[in-house]
Chain A
Amino acid sequence: MPHIRLRFFGLGSRASGSHLETRFVPEGTTIQELLESVRSSADDHDFLARMNERQVSILLNGKLIRRAEGLQTILGQEDVVTFMVLVTGG
């Protein structure tokens, strides 16, 4: 059962920039399944729960995943998955 780390940025109640969770996930869990699990357990104030899933940016070990194939990536031991909204500067 892989042990993974989750990081959230700018997603409502998990907002303050460095929120970190760790969890064990069943063997064979994909990023898509992880995202669904995280969203279903989020509270009503959580940005991640109510925002359109398509607008969440997801990083696996610090790199943006390509959505189509990336979501089907199977999570491995000590993977770091990051959920964030990307905005830009001014």
Chain B
Amino acid sequence: MIRDIGSQRILNVDLSSGETWVEELPQEELLRFLGGRGVAARMLYERVPPGIDPLGPENILIFSPGTLTGTSAPSSGRSSVTCKGPATGLYLKVNAGGHLGAELKYAGFDYLVIRGVAEHPVYLWIKDGEVEIRDARHLWGLGTREADRLVKEELGDDEIQTGLIGPAGENKVLFSCIIFSQFSSASRGGVGAVMGSKNLKAIAARGSGALRVAEGEEFFDLAAQIRQELAQDPEMEFSYRWGTAGSIPGCVELGQLPSYNFSRVGIDGAEKLSGQYLEDEGYLTGRESCFSCSTACHRFVRTKVHRYGEVQDSGPELETVCSLGAECGIVDTEAVIKGNQLCNDYGLDTISAGHVISWAMECYEKGLISEKQADGLDLHFGNDVSMLELIRRIASREGLLGDLLANGTKQAAEEVGGDSWKWAIQAKGLEQSAIDTRMAKGYALAFAVNPRGPDHLMTEPIAESGPTEEARHLIGKITGDEKYADATLTEKRADIVRWHEDCYAATDGLGFCAFTSTASYAVNPDNMAQLLGHALGIQFSEEQLMLAGRRIVTLERCFNVREGARREDDVLPWRMMNEPVTEGPQKGLITDKEELDWMLDQYYEMHGWDPQTGIPTPKTLKDLGLLESCGDIVTD
């Protein structure tokens, strides 16, 4: 079956009743929300009533590849997964690469919406317009690698693409993830627990269909031009050669390597965590691309010393070497590779896994978790054996500590008490990713207003520090003056963050990789809009694209407002706002409450949100065409 890009189809599955049905998405909705993340946000708002239990049957889980996923648009193979998040009780969108999104498209569907709870473990088999709910009791309890292998074996096709959970998702760990195509991870906020709560072990997709763009020649030429630009981009070449962990030496040089649960910004021996070290020392064995990507930043590694037995796996990424490594006071390369493998197999988000462990280590060293409460583990920083054992116990919720940490640092700190909440590096219930927001004001603002919690995967204003001429040019375009390409300034951060929010939402809507649009800039709002226009055979402008991005961001805000979130929830972890950087070139820097409040005022005003509450005003909703659907949140 060949489908036009603009003829989008929604596959609905009710696991409680076993019913499945298909809806067509009106093209008008596609243009308003761009597809992918945007349409998913729209469906979440409409279909999930306020106040429901994220792990109950009323929550829905939406898989939504980008609108251009499955085409030759470069680096456009990414998919969003959206639901009400169990870690925060708020909006949750995660995003992953791999090949599952394109396969879903070729199988005839642009969105997969799952509701209800199956009576026993099941998996979905989606092939060429058909869907089957199959028994997965024999897969329950298995790691993601083995489950993936068995699903393919059972269905007799090695080319099947899967999205599946491991034991952590089955046990509803609040930072469990979904693994796509074996090596990509939709990670944050406990999306795997939502899948587990539905007794859904896996999704398997295979399609022999195709997608048709309306203006093929123009689309192909522009895609080729962007691909060429990406191929010449040194950052992409860098990413290919060393992966994201190639940033470690730069982080060290800048004094920006979060270590020891963010209490320090550097660690001796950090080079052993770097992508360069993985290559130089022979750990790196290969590289892998997501669908339609020519960069191949994914790693394959193999331990050479075999201290932990033979380990061959994907990654580790920058965030992982920081969270399981430096944050836990560990620079043992093999230990981090092993920890990464365990997280992938159990289906755990490495960012939160590392951070709950480093939080526990700090509690242990400060006497708030005793050896008995630690179930006999020595939790001093640097103990890699304990780090690895804790990953296993968390995934299976084994013992007092494993069960405690499986609920994330927010809940764990409430249980442990004392001052432990001060070094719980979380906000809204999500652990912060390994970017030190004390040193970068735009990041601080972006993290505070992020609807899912403080991380870099909803908005990433890399350009704010002006690391390259392209970045400075972008800052000049956004703010009117390149002098604002300075991350230590609070001025114009609201402008910078809002532009990146809009761009990131559009990037996710169409399925592009954010590395190409908010890091290298070869993919930009102008050429994204042109590609979408060529795909649909219409005129579509950069302004329309960015407005749609803002509509998505505002809709996501509305979801959280309806759940009770207000301005006071737009905060950063306590340590990030109260303990200045203690060492290195950034010593003394802090983004305190006063600075954050000032930036929030600018940000709300720019968005047209009430500065007292953070709620979008009726005028804003009207201007964005959201008043009819989201008017229930405003009181005016």
Q: Name which residue of chain A comes closest to B483, CB basis.
A: A66
Q: Are B249's CB and A10's CB within 8 A?
A: yes
A67-B472, A87-B247, A88-B460 given; A82·B235 CB < 8 A: no
Q: Judge if A64 is at the interface, Cβ distance under 8 Å.
A: yes
Shortest CB distance A87–B (Å): 5
Interface residues of B in 512-527 (CB under 8 A from A): 515, 519
- A residues near B (Cβ < 8 Å) are 7, 9-10, 15-18, 47, 51-52, 54-57, 59, 61-64, 66-68, 82, 84-90
Give 7 pairs: A residue, B residue, CB < 8 Å, sorted on A: A54-B469, A57-B468, A63-B585, A64-B466, A85-B250, A86-B250, A89-B434
Q: Name which residue of chain A comes closest to B487, CB basis.
A: A64
Q: Name which residue of chain A comes closest to B274, CB basis.
A: A17
By Cβ-Cβ distance, the 6 closest A-B pairs, closest first, are A62-B585, A54-B469, A89-B318, A17-B276, A17-B249, A51-B234
A17-B274, A52-B234, A64-B254 given; A88·B244 CB < 8 A: yes
Q: Are B317's CB and A62's CB within 8 A?
A: no
Report the Cα distance A56→B470, complex, angstroms: 11
Q: Are B469's CB and A67's CB within 8 A?
A: yes
Q: Judge if B485 is at the interface, Cβ distance under 8 Å.
A: yes
Residue among B242, B249, B460 with the highest chain A CB neighbour number at 10 A = B249
Q: Name which residue of chain A comes closest to B277, CB basis.
A: A17
Report the Cα distance A6→B585, complex, angstroms: 17
Report the Cα distance A84→B274, complex, angstroms: 14
Q: Are B253's CB and A7's CB within 8 A?
A: yes
Shortest CB distance B563–A (Å): 28
Q: Are A54's CB and B468's CB within 8 A?
A: yes
Q: Name which residue of chain B comes closest to A52, CB basis.
A: B234
Q: Are B271's CB and A84's CB within 8 A?
A: no
Add 7 more A-B contacts to A66-B486, A88-B460, A89-B435 (CB < 8 A).
A16-B276, A47-B234, A52-B234, A86-B250, A88-B247, A89-B318, A89-B434
Shortest CB distance B456–A (Å): 7
Report the Cα distance A86→B239, complex, angstroms: 10
Report the Cα distance A84→B242, complex, angstroms: 13
Contact with A along B475-487 (1 / 0, CB 8 A): 0000000110110
Q: Judge if B433 is at the interface, Cβ distance under 8 Å.
A: yes
Total contacting residues, chain B, CB less than 8 A: 48
A9-B249, A89-B433 given; A59·B254 CB < 8 A: yes
Q: Are A87's CB and B274's CB within 8 A?
A: no
B residues less than 8 Å from A9 (CB atoms): 249-250, 253, 276
A10-B242, A84-B250 given; A17·B271 CB < 8 A: yes
Residue among B317, B466, B467, B482 with the highest chain A CB neighbour number at 10 A = B467
Residue among A56, A85, A89 with the highest chain B CB neighbour number at 10 A = A89
Q: Judge if B297 is at the interface, Cβ distance under 8 Å.
A: yes
Report the Cα distance A88→B318, complex, angstroms: 8
B residues less than 8 Å from A90 (CB atoms): 244, 297, 317-319, 515
A85-B234, A88-B515 given; A59·B246 CB < 8 A: no
Shortest CB distance B532–A (Å): 24
Q: Judge if B602 is at the interface, Cβ distance under 8 Å.
A: no
Q: Judge if B238 is at the interface, Cβ distance under 8 Å.
A: yes
State which of A7, A55, A68, A88 has its C-beta within 8 Å of the C-beta of B462.
Answer: A88
Q: Are B482's CB and A68's CB within 8 A?
A: yes
B residues less than 8 Å from A68 (CB atoms): 482
Report the Cα distance A64→B322, complex, angstroms: 22
Interface residues of B in 423-480 (CB under 8 A from A): 433-435, 456, 460, 462, 465-470, 472
Q: Are B277's CB and A10's CB within 8 A?
A: no
Shortest CB distance B492–A (Å): 15
A residues less than 8 Å from B246 (CB atoms): 10, 87
Q: Are A59's CB and B253's CB within 8 A?
A: yes
Q: Are B239's CB and A87's CB within 8 A?
A: yes
Q: Are B319's CB and A89's CB within 8 A?
A: yes
A17-B276, A54-B468, A64-B467 given; A87·B584 CB < 8 A: no
Shortest CB distance A37–B (Å): 20
